[in-house]
Chain A
Amino acid sequence: NAGVTQTPKFQVLKTGQSMTLQCAQDMNHEYMSWYRQDPGMGLRLIHYSVGAGITDQGEVPNGYNVSRSTTEDFPLRLLSAAPSQTSVYFCASSYSKGYGYTFGSGTRLTVV
């Protein structure tokens, strides 16, 4: 009963470094998404996937890449970290449209 697991929980990066935020779900959900949460801005969609091998951009995709090789995993890659990417990142999954998302506990990323 793990639900949605995100790793790491905290990360500090230097400007220009790259890294991958991991997200895994064990509920056999087709939909998976990445959001970032910034104060006063709510949650903004970065990328999403409607199934293995299918991904698409959300509202704020620049600087991020995703892939979905399996139903379970949906990693988010930061190509060259910038201070503007300092945020809390949430992964979410859903069984299908019409159902609410299950969220992971988040990754707090600081880029210095």
Chain B
Amino acid sequence: AQSVAQPEDQVNVAEGNPLTVKCTYSVSGNPYLFWYVQYPNRGLQFLLKYITGDNLVKGSYGFEAEFNKSQTSFHLKKPSALVSDSALYFCAVRDHMNYGGSQGNLIFGKGTKLSVKP
């Protein structure tokens, strides 16, 4: 079964420190992986995606993510956290090999709340 796991409910980071939000996945075939961010009382906003190519993907607002096939992980990172990065982060996977069955829907993790303190 396809699944996405975000093992941490909350991540606390001091402003200026590097941050990592973890994501692991389980899908058949090669995955398409995504990160979304949700600010309070808002919809989800796209941050970045991995489809193929370089394992290090750069996205919006200085975020990047590293795809690791052997560890089935797609961790979100940022070298220097800002207070304004505080939000709920969702990892999602779309199994493009299973187009006929899943019809390309996104499977979301449960979300990780990132709190950046001044």
**B-binding residues in A (CB < 8 A):** 4, 31, 33, 35, 40-45, 48, 50, 56, 58, 90, 92, 94, 96-106
Given contacts A31-B103, A105-B43, 20 further A-B contacts (CB under 8 A): A4-B43, A40-B110, A42-B110, A44-B108, A56-B103, A90-B43, A90-B44, A97-B103, A98-B51, A98-B94, A98-B104, A99-B49, A100-B34, A100-B49, A101-B44, A101-B46, A102-B46, A103-B44, A106-B42, A106-B43
9 residue pairs A–B, Cβ–Cβ below 8 Å: A31-B104, A33-B105, A40-B110, A45-B106, A97-B103, A98-B104, A100-B34, A100-B92, A103-B43
Best-surrounded residue of B49, B90, B96, B108 (most CB of chain A within 10 A): B108
**A-binding residues in B (CB < 8 A):** 9, 32, 34, 36, 42-46, 49, 51, 90, 92, 94, 96, 99, 103-111
For residue B103, give the distance in angstroms from its CB to the closest CB of chain A.
5
Measured between beta carbons, the chain A residues less than 8 angstroms from B45 are 103
In the complex, are the beta carbons of A48 and B43 less than 8 A apart? no
In the complex, are the beta carbons of A41 and B46 less than 8 A apart? no
In the complex, are the beta carbons of B104 and A101 less than 8 A apart? no
